[in-house]
Amino acid sequence: MIEIIPAMDIIDGRCVRLSQGDFARRTVYEADPVETAKGFEAAGLRRLHMVDLDGARAGRVTNLAVLERVAAATLLVIDFSGGIKRDEDLSSVFGAGASIAGIGSVAVKDPQRFAGWSAEYGREKFLLGADVRGRNLAVDGWLTDTEVDLSDFLRKTAPLASAVFVTDVSKDGAMQGPATGLYRELLAAHPGLNLIASGGVRNADDIRELHAAGCSGVIVGKAVYEGVIKPKEFAEFLNPEAEHAR
């Protein structure tokens, strides 16, 4: 069964969604992050994908207080990313309540450091993030394009993490459907890859399609915040018996 992972992107302590990675095209939601997280938990979800967008842009963890509040108020397994660059950033994120650290830019720009972290903490403590435009990676909160090929990056780096989430930046926040074709190609090229889809999910049919493609999880953001996907629609993905009954 595919795992549903709600996204919580944070700017200035508030929940936001960007459109195609553009900080100038943001939607700010009034809901308190803690109450939002409690709502996800009440719907039966067990994971939360929290992104410190201020931290990703500034190169240092910025919204640690939000992480602490959500971790204290819920039992959600939180993966936290954005601005984790130094050893002390990593320890502070884990200390604040994150179960998993999402690492993207460091894995691209300083792979030896990431390899050291994986060896020290264990690969199960890391979620590898790969944001792509075309087939090349974008880093620093999508602000910097690179010439690093996605497939080469996954071949070298994916074994250092428990799973990988791949975001097609052109799909993110656009609600025009996920990059299912890309995910199928990656899963065919990298057998055994624990791949989490991210970006573009519009409805439950998209989630079913990603499940059929072989993705182990899906990060869902704007469709939830805009009310396009209702919490009750997650039930079939949380209860295998509901799927068989369809």
Confidence (pLDDT) at 243? 41
The CA distances from residue 80 to 59, 76, 126, 168, in Å, are 14, 12, 10, 19
Active site residue 9: yes
Phi, psi of 214 (to 5 degrees): 110, 5
pLDDT digits (tens, 9 = 90+) for 184-198: 999 999 999 999 999
CA 190 and chain centroid, separation? 20
Task: Report the run of H or E that residue 48 belongs to, with start and end.
Answer: strand 47-52
Confidence of residue 24 (pLDDT cuts 50, 70, 90): low
Residues 71, 80: Cα–Cα separation, whole Å: 11
Residues 42, 83: Cα–Cα separation, whole Å: 29
Pick the more confident residue, 13 or 195: 195
Which member of 131, 140, 172, 206 is catalytic?
131
Whether 176 has a pLDDT exceeding 90, the answer reads: no
Which member of 9, 52, 54, 79 is catalytic?
9
Mean pLDDT value of segment 57-83? 95
Residues 87, 117: Cα–Cα separation, whole Å: 8
Active site residue 206: no
Helix (H, G, I), strand (E, B) or coil at 59: coil
Count, residues in the chain: 246
Going along the chain from its start, the domains and CATH numbers come out as 3-245 (3.20.20.70)
pLDDT digits (tens, 9 = 90+) for 28-37: 776 799 999 9
**pTM of the prediction?**
0.90
